[in-house]
């Protein structure tokens, strides 16, 4: 078994959940999300985020608006749609259940 690979697989599973959680606080531009995810050590490279954002947007969980940036190209600001909020609430619940289950198994 490859430890790194297992870790990566675990991260992958929760990445979408993390993105939605970051956005639940306020609308963010991609780099803001990346910063938070990097601080939380959920992702390693930025490239991971963009396909996920596109996918979540296409699934109707996110919407975005363009905003001019003082320096550099314009930025996409993402925010949760109402559908996205419901989706996140579901995930929150299942996450809690998951943590509970894992803890239960580990402490037994």
Partner 1 sequence: MDKTIKINLGGTLFQIDEEAYKMLRKYLQDIDNRLRNTLGGAETVEDIELRIAEIFQSQGGSAGVISKENIEAMISIIGKPEDFETGSDEKETKAPYYHSTTRKKMYRNPDDTIISGVCGGIGAYLNIEAVWVRLLFILFTCFFGIGFFVYVALWIALPSAHSDPQKREMYGRDDYHTAAQKIKSGYSLKSGDSGYTPSGQAGSHVGNAFNEVFRALGKVLFIIVRIFLILVGITFVLCGFMALVSFIMVFFFKYPGYFSTHSFGVNLFYLPDFLNYIVNPVIAPWILVLSFIVILIPLLALIYWGVKMIFWFKAKDGIVSLIGLIIWVVSVAVLSLLLFNEGISYSETAKIVSEEIIDKAPSDLYIMSGNKIADLHFDKEISFNEEDYNVYFIDDNKGLFLSSGLNINNSDDKSVKVTVRKRSAGRSKSDATRKAEGLVYNYHIAGDTLYLDEYFTIPVGTRWSFDDVRVNLYIPDGTEVHFDKTTENMFRRQHYYNEDWNWSWDGEDKEMVRSDSGDNHWIMTEDGLRRRSESSEK
3 lies in the binding site for partner 1 (CB under 8 A): no
For partner 1, the closer of residues 24 and 57 by Cβ is: 57
55-84: contacts with partner 1 (CB under 8 A) = 55, 57-60, 63-69, 71-76
Question: Do the Cβ atoms of 19 and 34 come closer than 8 Å?
Answer: no
For partner 1, the closer of residues 59 and 102 by Cβ is: 59
For partner 1, the closer of residues 50 and 103 by Cβ is: 50
Tokens of 6: 């297992």
With H, G, I as helix, E, B as strand and everything else as coil, classify residue 73: coil
User: Where are any strands of DSSP class E within 7-83?
Assistant: 28-29, 62-67, 75-80
46 lies in the binding site for partner 1 (CB under 8 A): yes
With H, G, I as helix, E, B as strand and everything else as coil, classify residue 66: strand
30 lies in the binding site for partner 1 (CB under 8 A): yes
Could you give the angle at the alpha carbon of 66 between the alpha carbons of 60 and 67, nearest 5°? 140
Q: Which residues bind partner 1 (CB under 8 A)?
A: 8, 11-13, 15-16, 30-31, 43-48, 50-55, 57-60, 63-69, 71-76
């Amino acid at each position: 078994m490859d430890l790194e690979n297992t870790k990566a697989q675990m991260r992958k599973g929760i990445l979408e959940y993390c993105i939605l959680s970051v956005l639940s606080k306020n609308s963010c531009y991609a780099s803001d999300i990346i910063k938070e995810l990097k601080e939380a050590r959920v992702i390693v490279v930025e490239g991971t985020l963009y396909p996920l954002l596109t996918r979540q947007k296409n699934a109707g969980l996110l919407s975005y608006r363009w905003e001019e940036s003082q320096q550099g190209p314009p930025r996409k600001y993402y925010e949760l749609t109402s559908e996205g909020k419901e989706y996140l609430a579901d995930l929150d619940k299942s996450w809690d259940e998951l943590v509970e289950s894992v803890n239960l198994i580990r402490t037994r």
